Amino acid sequence: MDSFAVETSEAQQTLDLEKNGHVERTQWVLNAPEPPSFWREVLDSVKKTIKPPGNTSEILKRQPGSKRVVLFLQAIFPILSWGRNYKVTKFKNDLMAGLTLASLCIPQSIGYATLAKLDPQYGLYTSVVPPLIYAVMGTSREIAVGPVAVVSLLVSSMIQRLEDPETNPTAYRKLVLTATFFAGIFQAAFGLFRLGFLVDFLSHAALVGFIAGAAIIIGLQQLKGLLGVTHFTNKTDVVSVLKAVLRSVDHSWSPHNFILGCAFLSFILTTRFVGKRNRKLFWLPAIAPLISVILSTLIVFLTRADKHGVKIVKRIKGGLNPSSVHELHFNGPYIGEIAKIGLVIAVVALTEAIAVGRSFASVKGYHLDGNKEMLAMGFTNIIGSLTSCYAATGSFSRTAVNFSAGCETAVSNIVMAITVLISLELFTKLLFFTPTAILASIILSALPGLIDVHEAYRIWKVDKLDFLACLGAFVGVLFVSVEIGLLIAITISFLKIILNSLQPGTEVLGRLPGTEILFDVDQYPMAAETLGVLAVRVKSALLCFANANFVTERILRRVSEERKDAKGSTSTAKKVDLVILDLSNLVNIDTSGIASLEELHKNLVSNGMEIAFTNPRWQVIHKLRLANFVGKVGGGRIFLTVAEALDACIGGRRAAI
Amino acid sequence: MDSFAVETSEAQQTLDLEKNGHVERTQWVLNAPEPPSFWREVLDSVKKTIKPPGNTSEILKRQPGSKRVVLFLQAIFPILSWGRNYKVTKFKNDLMAGLTLASLCIPQSIGYATLAKLDPQYGLYTSVVPPLIYAVMGTSREIAVGPVAVVSLLVSSMIQRLEDPETNPTAYRKLVLTATFFAGIFQAAFGLFRLGFLVDFLSHAALVGFIAGAAIIIGLQQLKGLLGVTHFTNKTDVVSVLKAVLRSVDHSWSPHNFILGCAFLSFILTTRFVGKRNRKLFWLPAIAPLISVILSTLIVFLTRADKHGVKIVKRIKGGLNPSSVHELHFNGPYIGEIAKIGLVIAVVALTEAIAVGRSFASVKGYHLDGNKEMLAMGFTNIIGSLTSCYAATGSFSRTAVNFSAGCETAVSNIVMAITVLISLELFTKLLFFTPTAILASIILSALPGLIDVHEAYRIWKVDKLDFLACLGAFVGVLFVSVEIGLLIAITISFLKIILNSLQPGTEVLGRLPGTEILFDVDQYPMAAETLGVLAVRVKSALLCFANANFVTERILRRVSEERKDAKGSTSTAKKVDLVILDLSNLVNIDTSGIASLEELHKNLVSNGMEIAFTNPRWQVIHKLRLANFVGKVGGGRIFLTVAEALDACIGGRRAAI
């Protein structure tokens, strides 16, 4: 065959393709390879979920034995891989960040421990072991691990219902440690089985509302310390707490406590304001709490104000974290309850840690592996629960300080932990005279950062239903209880998904000038509808029992309205006689959906109209074929694109005329 | 300006459009008009739901007063509009169909009444008033209204738990009538407030499983009549019923009953087989039950077999439906329970009626107005409950007979009702010797039509999750209880929707030869990916808290894998440096979705890659604008189509080289 013949035949082919293009392309649609079966998809999804990212396992296989062990250890302990490139210059930054962190962490830890209704030293313990474990297992470079306000509130509000921390502190502490152990187990399990998506169930909007509500609850609880009240309520909802406050204001409160607390609270808030104005002074708000503790302790010590009603911390047990293996109890009467509490703590703590970690990771442009993070957090809490620590996670405020202080790696966490350890060994005796009002004011000073009104407004502006989830969580936490708030938020979030699938709209399509593609005429007013043709697209990814009838009724109503209008008007308006249903959006369809498409087809045809279906996706065309839908409507009624359907149907009609 | 100048400028414009087309079209994307606000959408949806279809209200306004009343009445009573064109030829067909229907209906009604544990005449009552009401208010031309098997089972299984029909039949009947009244109120309310979509919650697949399960339960219950047993269980699950049957077979059963019942059951089934083979003999299976009743009554009367253990119906109270207004009780102890039962009956009865009506309407090519149907059914049951009728709905089997018998309008229902009325007045005394075993065999003969194994297999083939809902309903009804079966089916159906939104895949896009549009490369193996570009589309209509992180992680993993592969291989494979995220499928997005898109953008950019977003839909681009996403990534990163994004990004790069 000479070159000329080849060229001619190629030209002929191109011409054929041009002419019969849509026929051939319809064949492409109809003869697509089979999509993976249901079982295959389930298997694949499990495999993809369980398989570590990248081709780690393949790389592992290629290596000799010893190297394999090293790689495996590096995967579990990331410090082994980044530690090898660790330099002195980095350490300088980490040291500074770690010391700044410690100065903020010591007073906060003591305060959060009292919020969790534990002895102050347990807060300090929780700032020693967890940061060390996280430093060797975690992948985030900025997260500061330790006790945090919201989790401390969760612990006390849920566990004090089982055991009173005032009358039976040892039993209460045992329950707290057991719940921490369970939380660790759940977190590690989430990481191992790659259930990271579970953490996503608490949506961003719900989290904003939940944390804001929790912050207000925490703030109200601090009034106990600030007013120097002895008897207080164990409930967390705002009504009970306010009642307790009013009752105590009537009876016994000490103005000294209040004045001392407020004075230092304003001091801390002022330093924060200064720190915000002048970025270079970021360390000022970070060390202000420590300064407050030292100053107030000195004042009380010198004036012996504790004799005049100022409540003081008294003895803090010093020394290293004691072992608490014997304190875990797995056969008590509350074991089921404690496991449930552990699950709630696990989810909330992880959500907070991963939200914090992700936001700073994306600033520095690296990706946080959610599953590895969960594994690290899980081990952190498991080992923590064996060494007298209660539930730890990444702290919003301290992570921000760590970042501002210029931390480079998790070494700043190690520096912090060692500093806290030294304080535990040497300085706890000095905290004897620290007034409890100062601890309350340190916690109070951390709260404004948790109430993000600006973000709530942004959510309101962008998505009203998201705001509803946010508001639901907020109101639930505030007026009912912490768990109910969480439950409301999750329920609203899922209802939103169902609502979105329930009543999908349909959109009418028109051709945009200069393109061959059809778009929503509402979104693009310059898109032109074709006369006598109604091209519609379903605005949903799933045509199913819950929306299929709704969709077909909308389409039929629209058709009959347009036909009525055409009849009534005196203009040259043409009656709709071709309906094109664009299936582009549909990722899946169920048997009810197929039945309603069949009904639509029958109904339109028996009323003398034509119908064409365009761009069915993989699963959809597969199921339509299985249900013999293609046989019923005819393969010639299915096209790749709306433009082709238009050309074929209208072109064909013109040819017939 | 002369014509030449105009032409040139036009040509220039076309050229400009060609050259800067994508820039202008991006402006179209970015400057789309605002979509209707959230409140507006809610209002519109309510309005569209409540507003009757078409422009009825506008037409009404244009008419004078008297005409307006006529039109309004016609909307409520469709008989006024189709009745005016009613002709004698139509009546001939309707008369034949109505008489055939009555001959099937009389024995079935008596049987279903015993299934509902009521006296036989209540079944006949229910075949008089409800068909008459439906005939003037309904829009379906084929539905045969009256008592049906599944609803009768629902009534007895739910109400006998509150009151024993054997020991206290009057109290039981009062509860049944009250529940019927509630069911009517609920149905009418659904119709008035246009809540038709509620009926869709029971998906087609679930209904198939539910009805099959109910049919088996009903069949087992008939063993009581067939075996002539006196004591039986009140439970409906298959295990309890089989136990009761085995127990009674041990003790006291009468072979006469069994032989009589089986003989006539085989006669009815034989006529059905003949009727199916020869379509012209459709009337044979329809009148076979009546023939069986007459023959068996004669046999018993002549042989006085009732003296030898054959159980007979005995007295059926004759005469017109008595009023039952005084039997409705709204202040008993069970009122809440009865209202709940009324709701379940309302939903199941409506689902059956609308499914039956729709399937025959689409055969004849007219559209059934679901909301009007619900209103009609509601009034049918309300008025029914005041005239000694229990819950009625459209019957599968009798509607099919009505259709085969050539009914034209609802007049066939009127003919049937009048025939039943005459029988009630004249012939009830003749039924004294009718053996109960015959009633059992008539019900049994109707059951095979309710167990649609073929359809269940089709569902299995097309959609495995749909089949799970079907199976769940079936097993739930069979082994637990009727309500649990319904609950399981609805739960599985909704879980399916959530599951579909939870883990959406992403699909890689490639250009199809001969088109400018990009399609899924898995579905179309001939689609070609562009070197160095990863074009992906999210397979979901909603990017939200539950799937956003999953989607971004999949994309990032894919990018890093492709980059690793490119590094490793020795071929000329090009590293991916442009990611195009096609948002076509996304109808909506929430704040978590926007946050994850921002994270994806930051992450890719900080790793030296480009990212472009294409075809954001109306709500999506609106929310992205509100969240200032467009400002953050730059408007130049957003395109109308993937092809334009490709051309702009790669073209721009070439120009730079």
Nearest partner of A182 among A344, A339, A332, judged by Cα = A339
Per-range mean pLDDT, top range of A244-258, A275-289, B101-115: B101-115
B55: how many CB neighbours lie within 10 A of its CB? 15
Mean pLDDT, rounded, for B468-497: 87
Q: Using alpha carbons only, give the angle A119, A268, A423 rounded to the nearest 5 degrees.
A: 40
Residues of chain A contacting residue B526, judged by C-beta atoms under 8 Å apart: 28
Average the pLDDT over each of A307-311, A420-424, B4-8, B131-135 and give the range with the smallest value. Answer: B4-8
A514's CB contacts (< 8 A; 6+ apart) are: B17, B21, B25
- Which pLDDT score, from 0 to 100, does residue A59 have? 56
Say if residue A230's pLDDT is above 80.
no
Question: Residue A507 — pLDDT band, cuts 50, 70, 90?
Answer: confident
User: Is residue A264 within 8 Å of residue A438, measured between CB atoms?
Assistant: yes
In whole angstroms, give the CA distance from residue B105 to residue B388.
17
Contact B549 A200 (CB under 8 A): yes
Closest residue on chain A to B27 (Cα):
A524
Residue B458 has its nearest CB partner, among A553, A617, A627, at A627
- Which pLDDT score, from 0 to 100, does residue B95 have? 92
Alpha helices in A304-435 (DSSP H): 335-364, 370-386, 396-404, 411-426
B4: how many CB neighbours lie within 10 A of its CB? 8
User: Is residue B424 within 8 Å of residue B126, measured between CB atoms?
Assistant: no
Say if residue A254's pLDDT is above 80.
no
For A58-73, how does the pLDDT look when each residue is reduced to its tens digit (9 = 90+)? Answer: 555 666 777 778 878 8
- Which pLDDT score, from 0 to 100, does residue B568 have? 58
Q: Using alpha carbons only, give the angle A23, A25, A31 rounded to the nearest 5 degrees.
A: 105
Question: Residue B51 — pLDDT band, cuts 50, 70, 90?
Answer: low
Residue A591 has its nearest CB partner, among B204, B546, B548, at B204
Mean pLDDT, rounded, for B498-526: 80
Residues of chain A contacting residue B493, judged by C-beta atoms under 8 Å apart: 544-546
For B138-179, how does the pLDDT look when each residue is reduced to its tens digit (9 = 90+)? Answer: 988 889 999 999 899 999 989 988 888 888 999 999 999 999
User: Is residue B489 within 8 Å of residue B476, measured between CB atoms?
Assistant: yes
Residues of chain A contacting residue B618, judged by C-beta atoms under 8 Å apart: 520, 522-523
Mean pLDDT, rounded, for B472-486: 88
Mean pLDDT, rounded, for B381-409: 91
- Which pLDDT score, from 0 to 100, does residue A56 have? 53
Mean pLDDT, rounded, for A630-643: 83
Residue A204 has its nearest CB partner, among B17, B196, B592, at B592
Residues of chain A contacting residue B626, judged by C-beta atoms under 8 Å apart: 461-462
In whole angstroms, give the CA distance from residue B413 to residue B423.
15
- Which pLDDT score, from 0 to 100, does residue A503 have? 66
Contact A45 B541 (CB under 8 A): no
* Residue B372: both structure tokens together: 């009007």
User: Is residue A638 within 8 Å of residue A614, measured between CB atoms?
Assistant: yes
B529's CB contacts (< 8 A; 6+ apart) are: B508, B509, B510, B521, B535
Say if residue B620's pLDDT is above 60.
yes
A451's CB contacts (< 8 A; 6+ apart) are: A211, A212, A215, A216
Any bridge partners for residue A435, and if so which? A312
DSSP-assigned letters across all residues of B606-638: HTT-EEEEE---HHHHHHHHHTTHHHHH-GGGE
The DSSP 8-state label assigned to residue A637 in this structure reads: G
Mean pLDDT, rounded, for B496-505: 75
- Which pLDDT score, from 0 to 100, does residue B60 have? 56
* Residue-wise burial string across B192-220, b where 16 or more C-beta atoms lie within 10 A, e elsewhere: eebebbebbbbbbbbbbbbbbbbbbbbbb
More confident: B319 or B569: B319
- Which pLDDT score, from 0 to 100, does residue B187 have? 94
Distance between A118 CA and the closest CA of chain B, angstroms: 35
Q: Within 13 Å of residue B91, how many CA atoms lie on the same side as its CB?
A: 6
Amino acid letter, B303? T
- Which pLDDT score, from 0 to 100, does residue B636 have? 76
Mean pLDDT, rounded, for B507-519: 81
Predicted-assembly ipTM surpassing the 0.90 threshold: no
Say if residue A572's pLDDT is above 60.
no
Question: Residue A6 — pLDDT band, cuts 50, 70, 90?
Answer: very low
The DSSP 8-state label assigned to residue B510 in this structure reads: E
For A351-410, how does the pLDDT look when each residue is reduced to its tens digit (9 = 90+)? Answer: 888 888 877 877 776 777 788 889 999 999 999 999 999 999 998 888 988 988 888 899
- Which pLDDT score, from 0 to 100, does residue B63 have? 65
Say if residue B12's pLDDT is above 60.
no
Question: Residue B189 — pLDDT band, cuts 50, 70, 90?
Answer: very high
* Residue B70: both structure tokens together: 């006529």
Contact B367 A548 (CB under 8 A): no
B256: how many CB neighbours lie within 10 A of its CB? 19
Contact A197 B502 (CB under 8 A): yes
Q: What percent of chain A has pLDDT over 90?
A: 21
Residues of chain B contacting residue A493, judged by C-beta atoms under 8 Å apart: 544-546
- Which pLDDT score, from 0 to 100, does residue A653 have? 58
- Structural domain boundaries in chain B: 79-495, 504-655
Length of chain B: 657
Average the pLDDT over each of A158-172, A423-437, A531-545, B363-377 and give the range with the smallest value. Answer: B363-377
CA quadruple B616, B619, B622, B626: dihedral sign = negative
Mean pLDDT, rounded, for B630-646: 83
Q: Within 13 Å of residue A441, how many CA atoms lie on the same side as its CB?
A: 29
* Residue B596: both structure tokens together: 């994850």
Residue A591 has its nearest CB partner, among B54, B202, B463, at B463
Question: Residue B1 — pLDDT band, cuts 50, 70, 90?
Answer: very low
- Which pLDDT score, from 0 to 100, does residue B405 have? 85
Per-range mean pLDDT, top range of A339-343, A565-569, B498-502: A339-343
Contact B463 A205 (CB under 8 A): no
Contact A462 B591 (CB under 8 A): yes
Closest residue on chain B to A36 (Cα):
B522
Mean per-residue pLDDT over chain A, rounded: 83
For B212-229, how does the pLDDT look when each residue is reduced to its tens digit (9 = 90+)? Answer: 998 898 888 888 888 877
Mean pLDDT, rounded, for A646-656: 67
Residues of chain A contacting residue B592, judged by C-beta atoms under 8 Å apart: 200, 203-205, 466
- Which pLDDT score, from 0 to 100, does residue B510 have? 86
Say if residue B4's pLDDT is above 50.
no
For A91-130, how does the pLDDT look when each residue is reduced to its tens digit (9 = 90+)? Answer: 998 999 999 899 889 989 999 998 899 999 999 999 999 9
For B428-450, how does the pLDDT look when each residue is reduced to its tens digit (9 = 90+)? Answer: 888 888 888 888 898 888 888 88
More confident: B75 or B64: B75
Mean pLDDT, rounded, for B610-617: 89
Alpha helices in A480-574 (DSSP H): 482-502, 548-568
Closest residue on chain B to A363 (Cα):
B602
Mean pLDDT, rounded, for B361-377: 81
- Which pLDDT score, from 0 to 100, does residue B15 have? 45
Closest residue on chain B to A594 (Cα):
B462
- Number of A–B residue contacts, CB under 8 Å: 280
What DSSP element (H or E) covers B146? strand B145-146
Domain B504-655, what architecture?
2-Layer Sandwich (3.30)
User: Is residue A502 within 8 Å of residue A547, measured between CB atoms?
Assistant: yes
B497's CB contacts (< 8 A; 6+ apart) are: A497, A498, A501, A542, A544, A546
Alpha helices in B278-364 (DSSP H): 283-303, 335-364
- Which pLDDT score, from 0 to 100, does residue A15 have? 45
Mean per-residue pLDDT over chain B, rounded: 83
For B412-422, how does the pLDDT look when each residue is reduced to its tens digit (9 = 90+)? Answer: 999 999 999 99
Amino acid letter, A126? T
Say if residue A57's pLDDT is above 90.
no
